[in-house]
Every structure is written in C-alpha cells, then in structure tokens.
Structure 1
Amino acid sequence: MKKILSSLALLTSFHVSAEAPQNIIMVVSDGMGPAYTTAYRYYNDDPATPEIETTIFDKYHVGSSSTYPAKVSGLVTDSAASATALASGVKSYNGAIGVDVNEQPVKSVLHQAKQIGKKTGIVVTSQINHATPAAYMVHNKSRQNYDEIADSYFDNRINDQFIADLMLGGGWQYFIRKDRNVVNDFKSSGFHYLDDYNQLSNLPKDKPVLGLFADKGMPQALDYGDKYRLSTMTAAALDYLPNDKGMFLLIEASQVDWGGHSNDIAYSMSEMSDLEKTMAVLEKFVEQNPDTLVVLTADHSTGGMTIGANGDYAWHPTWIKNLTASTQSMAQEIGDNGLDVLKLQQALGFQLTPEEQDELTTQMDKALAYWTENEIKFLAKGYSQASTVTRKMRKAITQLIDKRTNTGWTTSGHTGVDVPVYAFGKNSELFIGQLDNVDIATTIFNLLK
C-alpha cells in the first residue's frame, strides 16, 4: 500500500509541477496523536452554547499518517526517526538524525529548498538542535549528540551557504559552551543574534538571524509572559523570510510532546492553544500569499492519552481552563517553600476538597520521607531536597487534575498509533487520505524540483 501511495504522489507531482507553491511551511506538532486534537476541541468549547465548536484543526483535516520507524526499531518511533522520515522520506532507526539505517547522510526537504535558492528557517519551542529541527538541518548518528549537532549548524553548508537563514528557539547551553562558542561563530559570520524575545519585532532583513531564548527548551506557555510564543515567533519568521524565490519554513510545536511525557493534560492543552494560534497566523498568511502550502502533522503520539478514564463516560476539561501557572511551577513552589494550600488553589484556579488536601499532605510527607531515606545517594547525584520534592509533588498535582478531568494515560512514552494530517493552501489536495510519514516528504520533494 505504501508503494502505491508513494507512486501516486510521484505521478500527481508531474501534473502539478508547473503549479508548485512558492512557499512551503511544514508544521510538526511533536507527540500530537488524534486524542490531542479531539481533547483540544472539547477544551476549547464554549460551554454556554449547545453545540461543540470546531477548531482550526477540524477545518483543515485531510487524512492520517502512519509513523513506524525502520524495522530494526520495531513499530513505535521516537522523534528522531520520525523527523528523519518526514524530512527525507527515508525510514531509519530510533535516534537517527538525518541518516539512514547505515548511518549514511540523507538529504532533507529543507536542504533541497536551500539548494534551489529558497530562504529557509526553523521556529521551535524546544532547543533548536532538538530531534525534529536537527533532522531537517543536519546529520548525526544520535540525537543525544547535542553539542555536535549545534556545531554542525554552523560548520555544514549547502552551496557554500548556511543551512538556515533564520533559527528561533532555545539552546544557549549547547551553543555557548566552554569548549566552543557557536553563537560567536555565527555572529562573526554576519548573523544577527538576539537573546531577547522582545526584539523579535526588529529583525533585520539583510542578515541571517539566530535567536536563542532559553538554556534548553523555552519555558512552558503557561509560565511564559507571552502565552503564544510559538505564534509570535512564527509571525516574525513570516515577516522575515518571504522573497522572490520563496521559502521553506519548519515550525515545531515541540512541547505538546513534553506534556504527554509528563502525563500533564494542562501542559499539553496550553501548548495546543499556542499551536492553534500559530495555525491562525499561517491561515492569514496564506490568504494574503496564496502561492503557499501549509502541512501540519505529528511525528508520533505520546502518553496514550484518553479523554474519559476508569470506565466513566465523561471528560471535564473545565478544571484546566483557569490555571495561572504550570504544574511544574506549582510543584517547584512546594519544593522550595512547602505546601501552601491557598497558594496552590490560586494557581489551580479552583478550590481543593478536604480529601484532595489530605491526599496532597500525604504525598508531601511521602516525598520528604523519600528524600530522608535516600539523602546521601541523592546528594551524590546532585539532587537537592527541593528538586526531589518538586518531582514527587508535580506527579501528585497532575494526578489530582487527571481525577478532576477524568483523563487517562497508558504510558510516559510514545505509542504507535497513526497521527492526523492537516493541509491548506496550494497543492494541499496532495496530502488527502491515508499516508505514511515518508510520503509527506516525497510529495514535498516533488514540489521542490
């Protein structure tokens, strides 16, 4: 079936090659399986109206995609293998960054866009050398080689040009190191560098741009001054990149996945809100620039999330609509200063029942006892009492929210389910139906000939 779909994509591309879009925007929402977009619809619903309002995702849903990696890694992919498939059209092993199963480099659609003269950019809420952006940008046998990947962003070239004209996200830890300051390398080569998020509105059009706004990944949307930082960075990229030869822009909603790994429904829904805002920015751009294709999909699903758990036919997202901080921030406050129920209720946006307060007190006592029992071992590993209590209490808070909302999880890892595909703009019809992740890359390659 995959061969048939790939062949169809190839044949169709001959028909539309003269009409290929000038601008291609690829959006990857890391970890966003079908339960996430469904949950977001209900989370976003106006309870004052009788109908369930649709979201921008519903408007542009065109199909689904399988995500399995190369056979050597089984049926459940990691972000690196899936991003390599989405970027290059080549199945590889889990952990692979832009290389095949033999660790040989494979060309990405971003490389092809740069090779034919388009401007290129990446906008992510993770560090810019994380698995997904890295697979579009460079080649490495392991996603864990963060310093090597950061170096290759500068050292590698395409047609004697840097791989990307614009890079926005996090990553100070990997680009400003004792052994090498890659930021200084970029600056000395003519890049405009910014580490102040508020300077995004003043990007120079005559210089390539590197913007790093966090040590690793950017803070969660719930904790950031701008709750829509992905859409803000996207708007800046869309103002900067357009030119006569067109552009290729990779956008990643990186932290939908991180919420899934933490089994944190509030985290994931706030990141989905930022993604929807980003899609609205892209929709407006396509209206004004119809020679543009936008494709959105996920690399895999994370957490095995269910909206309705424990045999109860119900889901109650209203309990996560009024949070004023992330569960991580709430837990950090407890780790640093102890359990203050009034402060916690203010952050949650709802009153805790006596039973919930008792449960949190019990979990706090257990966390302190756990630290006392393992203090010598934890100190040797660099853990503190505060960090230990924070980890335990974050889990307690997310479980409390799960009970309130009736959210279920099957894993803290990835699952092998198919993921949704969304597309709009020029040639968006090429992504209709049941696809595999390599088919998405194959079709984009054909549009970039």
Structure 2
Amino acid sequence: MGPAQREAARLTYKGFDGRLTMDSLPVSGQLTTSPDDPVSAITDSAAGATAWTIGKRTYNGAISVDVHKKPWRTLGEQAKDDGKSTGLVTTAQVTDASPAAWFANEASRKDEDDIARQYLEVSKPDVILGGGEDWWLPSSNPGAFPDGDGERSKGTKGNLIAQARRDGYRYVSSAADLRAAPDDGKLLGLFANEEMFQQREEGKGDVYDPVVPLADMTSKALDVLQNDKDGFFLFVEEEAIDEFSHHNNATRMLQAMGELDKAVAVAKAYAAKHPDTLVVVTGDHECGGLTVEDNSKTDESGSGVSREDGPFPIAHSPRRFSLDWTTTGHTGVDVPVTATGPLSSMFTGKHPNTHVHEVLAKAL
C-alpha cells in the first residue's frame, strides 16, 4: 500500500475534500523499504515485515532472521514475554509472511506449516484470525473449506487445529461462530483454505468477499485482547491490496482499501476511548507501480509499458480518474505512515522501515 493506493481510495470513497480514516490520524511520515538482499533492491513482504519486527534489514523471504539466518526475538514475542496479550488478524493465510514475522522465526517464508507450529508451541498469540486452513491440516483432512484450483491441505505437522484445541484455543470457522465466541481465553479462527479472496484479474474469477470482514475480525480481536490489564499488541493486515495490485486489478484493490479503512476506524474508535493506545497504519512496500491519472485518449496504455484501469468515479463529484500500473511486482517507492497515540510523533519525517521497530519497542 503506497501513496497512490491511498490517494485512489480517498478519491473513491471520500472525494476531493474528504479524508480516509487512516489519513485522519494526526501524525504522518514516510518509510523507505529497501531490503538487504543479495539479488534484489526491492523488498518482499517477508523482509519488509521483518524490518518492523526485529529492526534489521534482511533478505527477501526471511521471517525474522537476519542475513546470516540467525533468529532474533520479535516484537510479538517481546510483548508476550512482558505479560501482554498478543494477536494477529489478516485476510491472507495467518501464516503468510507479514503476520508470521511478528510471531515466528524461519529461514524461508514458504515453511508455513512450521510457522503455524511455532504459533502454538513458541510465541503463542492469544488471537489468530484469518485464512490459510490448508497449512494447519495434513493432506488427508480437507477441513471446513472446499479446495479448488488444485489446492488441498498441505500441512506436515499433523492436525494443528486439534493441537490448538488441546492447547486451550477456541476454534471457529464461520462468522456466526466468531460472533458467538466468548471474549476471554484464546481464539483461533480460520475462514478460508488459503487467502480470504480469489486473486485474479478483473472478470477472470476475481472475488473479494471474505467470510468475515476485516473490521469484524479486528473488533473481535480487540474485545478479547483488551481484557489483559497489562495491555496488548495486535497486528492487522489487508492482504488483498497487495495481491490485487499484483494482478493490476484496481477495482478489487480499491474494494480492499475500503475494507482496510473500516478496520482502521475500529482501531481509531478504540484508541479514542483508550488514549494509552498507539495506532500505526502503513504498508510493507508498494505494489504495481501505481499512479493516479486524468482520463486521456492519448495515454500510452496498451503499449506494453503500462496498463490503465478505469475510469473510476470520484465521490461527490461528476469527475473521474484513471489508474495506471507500471508493473505487476513490488516497487521501492516510500510508503506513507500515519499514527496516533503515545510516541506517535516519532513517525514524523522520513525514516527507514526499521524505525517502526524502534518506535514500537519503546511503546512496549
């Protein structure tokens, strides 16, 4: 989620004179996203999230290990060690790179079943909500969600859902079960076999319709975690922004941006009632090389250099805008960061992404 994704969402949902909830937070800054990778100058999500969680730049694919593959204590582990409750919410697999970096150490982001095992046996987050059921079950167990497109359960660590239940987690797999779950104890919710959406190009089977909206998962996580008198740490991610940007699918990307902003509104409302809460909104990198453009018949779209989407309506205006993609991969542009609460002023200015670790470590 880079600056163009945020501006396109602002125009779509709020118009020329409006602000997204994420942009209404009082402190703003910029983060660089460069990894320490032997091949690429552009980060992936694993290296980007690892910079947040251990404060060190590393190679692409690394989950909270440094360039020598040495594991480091993550902020999620630090929060737990300090007596706080912890949780993660995502529309990706709960074992995907960004959430994993907060609660696991792995030389390769691909080892998602071992990341799930580490959640249960090592870092023990109190709330785990998202997709990725396939990584929690062996191939012989199809789970609660039908597998399609050749997908099937792929875990090699046994039935980790059963293990979670033995470890005291309440397991839910539907919106109704999540609503009915008590607001105390540990909670595991898996609501898709892989991501909670179908990441394809427009009109080619693309679907963004999560079993549970991101804002609802965020609200439930807060209901559970806030019971800890020592405080809590919660990571929340809208993965569809990245995945649909990879497919240059602006319609679905904008839909996901709207859902992320609803989740930010949940966090902002919580912080308004609990002013000792730090809320930070940012992205681990930009994806798609996106630009916001005027509508033009003489644009270079179709030349192979770029690909234009739109036009899209601007809220409260008869005018429209277009979006132009320049790549299906990640880029190295700075990402915006906005924040509110204790120590949020530290995000003012331009910083490396490892600065997130510096601020959150002090907050914890």
Could you tell me how far 1:308 is from its partner in structure 2? Answer: 1.7
Q: 1:261 aligns with which of 227, 246, 250?
A: 246
Give the 3 Å change call, closer, same or farther, for CA 57–223 of structure 1 in structure 2.
Answer: closer
Q: Quick check: 1:146 aligned with 2:112?
A: yes
Give the 3 Å change call, closer, same or farther, for CA 440–225 of structure 1 in structure 2.
Answer: closer
Q: Distance in 1 between matches of 2:126 and 2:37?
A: 35
Q: Quick check: 1:413 aligned with 2:329?
A: yes
Q: 2:185 aligns with which of 200, 207, 220?
A: 207
The one-letter code matched in structure 1 to 2:358 is: T
Could you tell me how far 1:279 is from its partner in structure 2? Answer: 1.0
Q: What SS does structure 1 have at the residue aligned with 2:31? A: strand
Could you tell me how far 1:45 is from its partner in structure 2? Answer: 3.5
Q: What SS does structure 2 have at the residue aligned with 1:210? A: strand
Does the aligned pair in 1 maintain the 2:37–2:60 contact within 8 Å? no
Could you tell me how far 1:222 is from its partner in structure 2? Answer: 5.7
Aligned pairs (5 A) from 1:117-156: 117-156=83-122
Q: What SS does structure 2 have at the residue aligned with 1:56? A: coil
Could you tell me how far 1:269 is from its partner in structure 2? Answer: 0.3
Q: Distance in 2 between matches of 1:284 and 1:237?
A: 14
Q: 2:132 aligns with which of 154, 160, 171?
A: 171
The one-letter code matched in structure 2 to 1:168 is: L
Does the aligned pair in 1 maintain the 2:34–2:43 contact within 8 Å? yes
The structure where helix makes up a greater share of residues is 1
Does the aligned pair in 2 maintain the 1:68–1:74 contact within 8 Å? no
After superposition, give the CA deviation of every residue in 1:338-397 in whole Å (9 maximum; x if it has no partner): xxxxxxxxxxxxxxxxxxxxxxxxxxxxxxxxxxxxxxxxxxxxxxxxxxxxxxxxxxxx
Does the aligned pair in 1 maintain the 2:90–2:239 contact within 8 Å? yes
Q: What SS does structure 1 have at the residue aligned with 2:109? A: coil
Give the 3 Å change call, closer, same or farther, for CA 33–225 of structure 1 in structure 2.
Answer: closer
Q: Distance in 2 between matches of 1:312 and 1:319?
A: 20
Could you tell me how far 1:319 is from its partner in structure 2? Answer: 9.5
Could you tell me how far 1:283 is from its partner in structure 2? Answer: 1.1
Q: 1:217 aligns with which of 167, 177, 195?
A: 195
The one-letter code matched in structure 2 to 1:104 is: K
**Structure label with greater radius of gyration:** 1
Q: What SS does structure 2 have at the residue aligned with 1:407? A: strand
After superposition, give the CA deviation of every residue in 1:59-107 in whole Å (9 maximum; x if it has no partner): 2251000000015244210000000001110111000011000111011
Q: 1:318 aligns with which of 303, 309, 313?
A: 313
The one-letter code matched in structure 1 to 2:217 is: M
Q: Quick check: 1:53 aligned with 2:48?
A: no
Q: Distance in 2 between matches of 1:267 and 1:442?
A: 34
Query: Which shows bigger deviation, 197-206 or 103-112?
Result: 197-206
1:192 alignment counterpart: 170
Q: What SS does structure 2 have at the residue aligned with 1:70? A: coil
Identity %: 36
The one-letter code matched in structure 1 to 2:269 is: K
Alignment TM-score, normalising by the size of structure 2: 0.84
1:236 alignment counterpart: 220
The one-letter code matched in structure 2 to 1:191 is: Y
Where structure 2 has 5 or more consecutive residues not aligned to the other structure, the ranges are: 140-155, 199-205, 301-307
Q: Quick check: 1:64 aligned with 2:42?
A: no
1:302 alignment counterpart: 287
Where structure 1 has 5 or more consecutive residues not aligned to the other structure, the ranges are: 1-31, 321-403
Q: How many residues align?
A: 325
Query: Which shows bigger deviation, 422-431 or 296-305?
Result: 422-431
RMSD across aligned C-alpha pairs, in angstroms? 2.4
Q: Distance in 2 between matches of 1:203 and 1:305?
A: 40
Q: Distance in 1 between matches of 2:343 and 2:210?
A: 37
Q: Distance in 2 between matches of 1:218 and 1:104?
A: 32
Q: Distance in 2 between matches of 1:120 and 1:290?
A: 19
2:203 alignment counterpart: none
Work out which structure has the larger RCO, using CA pairs closer than 8 Å and 6 or more positions apart in sequence: 1
Give the 3 Å change call, closer, same or farther, for CA 225–254 of structure 1 in structure 2.
Answer: closer
Does the aligned pair in 1 maintain the 2:292–2:324 contact within 8 Å? yes
1:102 alignment counterpart: 68
